[in-house]
Amino acid sequence: MELSTLWFILVAVLFTGFFILEGFDFGVGILLHIVGKTEQERRAVIRAIGPTWDGNEVWLLTAGGAIFAAFPKWYATMFSSLYLPLLLILVGLILRGLALEYRNKLESTVWRSRWDKSIFVGSLLTALLFGVGITDLISGLPFDAAGTFQGNFIDLIRPFPLLGGIASLSLFTWIGALFLQLKLQGELLTRVGGVASKLRWRVLAVYIVMGVYGFASNKLLIEAPILFKATAILSVATLLGSILLVNKRPGIAFALAAGTIGLTTVSFFGALFPNTMVSSLELGWNLTTVNASSTPYTLKVMSIVAAIFVPIVLVYQGYSYWIFRKRISLDEKIGY
C-alpha cells in the first residue's frame, strides 16, 4: 500500500473518531436546555462531558494537522473553498469552549444563562456545518486547475450538502441523548429517555432521506465500490437497531449509534477515494491522494511519528473515559 493511501485512510479514521466522540458532546450541548430545567440539572448535564470534551477535539486538530502535512494541496484548496463554513465552525468551537470553561466563573444567573445559550448555539452550528462540509467534498466544488475556488456561498449549500448537514445535526443530537442516558440518573434520566423516544423516528427519517437522495443524485456515491454501498446500508441497519434498543439496552443503543456515524463517515471517504477533492468544473482538476500528497520522505517520517504517538493517545483517552465512567449525581458540587 502506498503511503499516500495509508495517510488518506488515517485521515478518515481521525475524522471518524472525532465525529463519534465529539458528536455526542455536540448533542449534549444541543439538549442542554431541553433536559436541564434548573441550574442544578444543567450543571449535571454539562458534567457528563466536562472531563473529556476538550480531549475529544484533539481528534480534529490531529486530522487537520495530518491533512496539512500529508496532503498540502488538499489542505490549501479545502480551506480556500470552504472558508466561510470552516470559519463558522471555528467560531462555534471557540464559543462552546469558552462557555464550558467560563459559565461557572461567576455566581450570576444572567452570566450562566448567556454562556448556556452559547453552548447551545456553538454545538448546533458546528454539528450542522460539519455535515455540510463533508457532503460538499463528495458533491464537488468549483475550483480550477490551480485549486482556486471559483464559486460563491450558494455553491456550498446545495440540496445534498444541506441534507447532509441536517442529518449530521440529527445524528449528533441522537447520540448525545443516548450518551446522557448512560450518565444521568433519577428524574433527569427519565426526561432524557422521553426526549430520545420523541427523536428516534425523526432521526431515522432524516437519515434515510439524505442517503436515498445522495445515492440517487451524487455521481461518486452512485459509482462507489460495492463495499461502501454495503457500508451505507449497514449504517441504516445500525441506526434502526439503536432506535429499537434505546429504552431496553441503552448501552448497546449508544454503541450502534456510534457505529452509524462511523459507517457513514467510512462510506463517504470510501466513495471519495482516490480523490481528496472533486472539481465540479473539470474532472481533470480533481485532487487525488497522488497529486495532492507530500513527498514520500515526509510521509515516511510522519508514519513513524504516528506509529509511536497514536497508540499512546488512544490508551490515555480510553483511560480517561474509564476514570469518569460513573453516573452524574445532582448532589455533586464540583466542576461545571
Are the CB atoms for 19 and 169 separated by under 8 Å?
A: no
In-domain check, residue 112? yes
How far apart, in whole angstroms, are the C-alpha atoms of residue 268 and residue 13?
12
Q: Which amino acid is at 323?
A: I
Q: What is the pLDDT of residues 63-102, one digit of tens each?
A: 999 999 999 999 999 998 998 899 999 999 999 999 998 8
In-domain check, residue 334? no
Q: What is the pLDDT of residues 191-226, one digit of tens each?
A: 999 999 999 999 999 999 999 999 999 888 888 889
In-domain check, residue 330? no
Are the CB atoms for 276 and 74 separated by under 8 Å?
A: yes
In-domain check, residue 37? yes
In-domain check, residue 236? yes
In-domain check, residue 336? no
How far apart, in whole angstroms, are the C-alpha atoms of residue 16 and residue 259?
10
Residue 46: domain span: 3-323
DSSP code at position 328: P
Q: How high is the pLDDT of residue 327?
A: 84
In-domain check, residue 329? no
Q: What is the CATH number for 201?
A: 1.20.1630.10
How far apart, in whole angstroms, are the C-alpha atoms of residue 244 and residue 318?
28
**pLDDT of 318 higher than 90:** no
Q: What is the pLDDT of residues 266-279, one digit of tens each?
A: 999 999 999 999 99
Count of other CB atoms within 10 angstroms of residue 22: 25
The count of domains in the chain is 1
Strand partners, 287: 277
Strand partners, 288: 275
State the DSSP H helix or E strand holding residue 288, giving kind and residue range, or none if neither.
strand 287-288
